[in-house]
Amino acid sequence: MNEQSSYVYEGSNSFSGALARNRVLRNTFALLALTMIPTVLGAWIGVSSGFSFFQTSPFMGMIIFIAIAFGFFWGIERNKNSGTGVLLLLGFTFFMGLMLTGILSHTLQFKNGHQLIMMAFGSTGLILAGMSVWAATSKSDFSGLGKWLFVGVMLMIVASIANIFISSGPLMITIMVLAVGIFSAFILFDVQRIVNGGETNYIMATLSIYLDLYNVFTNLLALFGIVGGDRD
């Protein structure tokens, strides 16, 4: 193969790779938008019915939640290349909508509860848009963030467990602020993985970004409730 042919071949491969990455990114955000429907439906059913795994036994409720969540993760991973994977992902987001019942019910006790929910939702959307644009346009490589963000999550979990026993308000707020920062950075990391071709399956990409958004939203909502909740 001569030099010119090699150049054309490499250029064609580069163009094909770019098209594939754009397709994954486009499908990811389309599916991410679709996941909002079962999430909202699950949240509405949960708030309307007062659903909770944790009313009788918080410990058993947590065990059940973890078992169901990891069951979905396993099923989605096994079926990530088929339509069944999409259905399982939508089922998982419905389940996660149900799990919003507690924080939504608590927030709706405030006079401005609906406004707080919309503020948290809008702020989460702005974070997604900002981080996605940054990931897609930045020349910086954020792949090294992964291990540091994982360490941050582990420390946050340890701090959360410790706060169960010491019940410190300032520590709780600090954990929430850190969670918003860490999972916002995860959005940056996960979107750039798609842009750079590190994630080629749009179902798994959607799952990762959905979990990032879920954690950003719930922690923002809790913070808004603490800072701006109106009980009068």
Report which of residues 41 and 20 the model is more confident about. Answer: 41
Q: What is the percent of the chain with per-residue pLDDT over 90, rounded to a whole number?
A: 64
pTM: 0.89
* pLDDT at residue 198 in the model: 86
Question: Mean per-residue pLDDT for 14-22?
Answer: 71
pLDDT at 4: 53
31 φ/ψ angles, rounded to the nearest 5 degrees = -70, -35
Residue 51 exposed, middle or buried by CB count within 10 Å (0-12, 13-18, 19+) = middle
Rounded-to-integer distance, Cα 216 and Cα 179, Å: 7
User: Angle formed by the axes of helices 58-78 and 202-228, to 10°?
Assistant: 150
Q: Cα–Cα distances in Å, from 13 out to 10, 16, 137, 216? A: 5, 5, 21, 37
pLDDT at 9: 45
Collect all residues with Cβ–Cβ distance below 8 Å to 110 and sequence separation of at least 6.
Answer: 116, 225, 229, 230, 231
AA identity, residue 201: N
What pLDDT, on the 0 to 100 scale, is given for residue 42?
Answer: 96
Look up residue 144 and give its DSSP letter: T
Q: Above 70 in pLDDT, residue 226?
A: yes
- pLDDT at residue 114, as a whole number: 93
Which amino acid makes up residue 88? L
The predicted pLDDT at position 1 comes to: 52
For the stretch 37-81, pLDDT in tens is 999 999 999 999 988 777 667 778 888 989 999 999 999 999 999
Lowest mean pLDDT among 23-32, 58-67, 203-212: 58-67
Say what the pLDDT of residue 8 is. Answer: 46
**Whether 192 contacts 145, CB under 8 Å:** no
pLDDT tens for 93-147 read 999 999 999 999 999 999 999 999 999 999 999 999 999 999 999 888 888 888 8
Per-residue pLDDT band at 2 (split at 50, 70, 90): low
Q: Answer whether residue 218 shows pLDDT above 80.
A: yes
